[in-house]
């Protein structure tokens, strides 16, 4: 007999991306073959998918760690690394995914529904992909990114149309066994059922599922006993049916007090699933009352006694015997009618379409804030800057220069200047803190140098991008003046970029337009 597990914690680790390759083509009589390093492969993803053949989370209980394959590094001769293998984890229908704080991330209902548990890291670009007019032979490559590592909680909430609730030993399992082909464990002691049992019931043309939820006791909504574990499986049920033991010999118990006690627990329990699923709180669900064990003479008399008072509450009441099968036919069609009405009033939700929200054209994509732990320091936050930091090999000066170019083009340097950053100020991006040196000239031709070096990092008189933009604008206006005949200068006259006043922020923005 398989063990039923309905709550587990898994550790999903996606694959790391492969590093890019820094390589130069070498062939006889072709000493300048150019860069030919390939890109690294992407890391594999960890994905949860609903499988109708899976009914428990038992596999995750014994194997909670799930890891996808790593991407392979690139190689010379423009050979890209292989992508890491994705890891697909089958889960039962009705699985809810939560983070460590208890926030619902996904509600997996319906065969084939998927959820990305952890995204694989991107592979790094090789030096062949990084070649440009400014860098014709890059002596570096980008590193692969690490895959995501997420700790997730999986909860199984049974998908059933009718949920049977009642005190222990009320006869719920027996009722499921006679209404469907399910064969739950049945015994004459309390809490025989420790896990929900699902059965499929056919009533004419209507087919619905029925769940035998383990017995509830007063205080279940506050966690007494295993109440919270049991109540979780009622969240998806469209109809709740009270199964009442009319033949109990326990003192102080009768059908009305049993129902009132359980109604108080249902009203106090707050389902985690929202009304987006078409189901409100448990207190608002349609009800039915099943008075069981009327094959006992005293139980039949008690059922006739309490029936009028229960019907006054507006609930349909059915007296049955799971042993002698009395009243089962009427009960089956009545439950099918309640399920049919619910399905009519609450059609299945339309699958949500993927919403693409393009970023605004003026959105910077990063933010700069003062570092509270370092006087005069700053912290740069943003998806792209933090990703670029992870892709950079800081033992390669040329790679560091390329990082400076990227940050400069993004506008990080201009924002630091705007916020009053001074040369040498500690700037933190991701997990790296470095001393900021402004005006690293990006975009200009990198002079011939040793591979893996960048002479710009050693220049004491570096000119910022804004100053170069102003100088180009001045030269362009100077050329227009010559064409219009306004001024006449010799061929040896030039414009001194240092003599041009730095542009303001608004002027720089206008020149981009």
Which positions make up the binding site?
166-173, 191-195, 212-215, 292-295, 321-323
**d(Cα 240, Cα 449) in Å, to the nearest integer?**
78
Q: Which long-range contacts (CB under 8 A, 24 or more apart) does 86-89 make?
A: 86/44, 86/45, 86/46, 86/47, 86/120, 87/44, 87/45, 87/46, 87/47, 88/47, 88/49, 89/10, 89/46, 89/47, 89/48, 89/49, 89/60, 89/117
**d(Cα 146, Cα 291) in Å, to the nearest integer?**
60
Q: What is the DSSP secondary-structure string of 238-292?
A: SEEEEEEETT---TT--HHHHHHHHHHHHHH---SS-GGGS---GGGS-EEEEEE
Q: Which of 251, 246, 288, 282 has its CA nearest to residue 265?
A: 282
Show the tokens assigned to 143: 């590193």
- CA of residue 372 relative to chain centroid, distance: 31
Q: Which of 9, 4, 282 has its CA nearest to residue 155?
A: 9
Residue ranges for the known binding site for Mg(2+) are 173, 193
**d(Cα 384, Cα 390) in Å, to the nearest integer?**
10
Q: Could you tell me the maximum CA-CA distance found in the chain, to the nearest angstrom?
A: 122
What lies within 8 Å, CB to CB, of 3 at 6+ separation is 56, 58, 61
**What is the chain's Cα-based Rg?**
35
Decide: 199 and 348 in contact? Cβ < 8 Å.
no
Q: Which of 32, 26, 3, 119 has its CA nearest to residue 77?
A: 26
Residue ranges for the known binding site for GTP are 166-173, 191-195, 212-215, 292-295, 321-323
What lies within 8 Å, CB to CB, of 151 at 6+ separation is 9, 10, 11, 12, 99, 100
Show the tokens assigned to 19: 């590093």
């Amino acid at each position: 007999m398989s063990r039923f597990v309905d709550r587990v914690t898994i550790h999903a680790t996606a694959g790391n991306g492969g590093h890019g390759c820094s390589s130069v083509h070498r062939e006889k009589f072709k000493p300048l073959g150019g860069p030919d390093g390939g890109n690294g492969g992407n890391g594999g993803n960890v994905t949860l998918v609903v499988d109708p053949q899976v009914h428990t989370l038992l596999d995750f209980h014994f194997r909670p760690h799930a890891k996808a394959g790593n991407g392979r590094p690139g190689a010379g001769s423009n050979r890209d690394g292989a992508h890491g293998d994705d890891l697909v984890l089958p889960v039962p229908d009705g699985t809810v995914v939560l983070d460590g704080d208890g926030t619902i991330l996904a509600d997996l209902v319906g065969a084939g529904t998927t959820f990305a548990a952890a995204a694989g890291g991107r592979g790094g670009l090789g030096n062949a992909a990084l070649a440009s007019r400014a860098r014709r032979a890059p002596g570096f490559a980008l590193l692969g990114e690490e895959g995501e590592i997420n700790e997730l909680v999986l909860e199984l909430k049974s998908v059933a149309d009718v949920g049977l609730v009642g005190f222990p030993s009320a006869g719920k399992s027996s009722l499921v066994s006679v209404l469907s082909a399910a064969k739950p464990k049945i015994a004459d002691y309390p809490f025989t059922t420790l896990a929900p049992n699902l059965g499929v019931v056919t009533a004419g043309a209507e087919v619905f599922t029925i769940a035998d939820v383990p017995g509830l006791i007063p205080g279940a909504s506050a966690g007494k006993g295993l109440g919270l574990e049991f109540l979780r499986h009622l969240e998806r049920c469209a109809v709740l049916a009270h199964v009442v033991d009319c033949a109990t010999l326990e003192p102080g118990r009768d059908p009305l007090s049993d129902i009132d006690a359980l109604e108080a627990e249902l009203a106090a329990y707050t389902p985690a699933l929202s009304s987006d699923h078409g189901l409100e709180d448990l207190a608002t669900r349609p009800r039915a009352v099943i008075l069981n064990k009327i094959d006992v003479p005293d139980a039949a008399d008690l059922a006739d006694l309490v029936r009028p008072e229960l019907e006054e509450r507006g609930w349909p009441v059915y007296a049955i015997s799971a042993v002698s099968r009395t009243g089962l036919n009427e009960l089956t069609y009545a439950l099918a009618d309640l399920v049919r009405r619910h399905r009519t009033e609450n059609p299945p939700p339309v699958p949500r379409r993927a919403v693409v929200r393009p970023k605004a054209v003026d959105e910077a994509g990063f933010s700069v804030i003062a570092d509270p732990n370092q006087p005069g320091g700053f912290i740069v936050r943003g998806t792209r800057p933090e990703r670029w930091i992870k892709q950079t090999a800081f033992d390669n000066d040329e790679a560091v220069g390329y990082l400076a170019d990227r940050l400069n083009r993004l506008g990080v340097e201009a924002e630091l200047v705007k916020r009053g950053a001074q040369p040498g100020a500690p700037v933190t991006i991701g997990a790296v803190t470095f001393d900021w040196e402004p005006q690293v000239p990006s975009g200009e031709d990198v002079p011939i140098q040793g591979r893996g070096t960048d002479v710009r990092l050693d220049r004491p008189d570096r000119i910022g991008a804004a100053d170069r933009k102003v100088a180009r604008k001045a030269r362009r206006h100077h050329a227009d003046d010559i064409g219009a005949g306004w001024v006449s200068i010799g061929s040896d006259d030039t414009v001194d970029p240092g003599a041009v006043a730095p542009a303001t922020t608004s002027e720089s923005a206008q020149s981009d337009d």
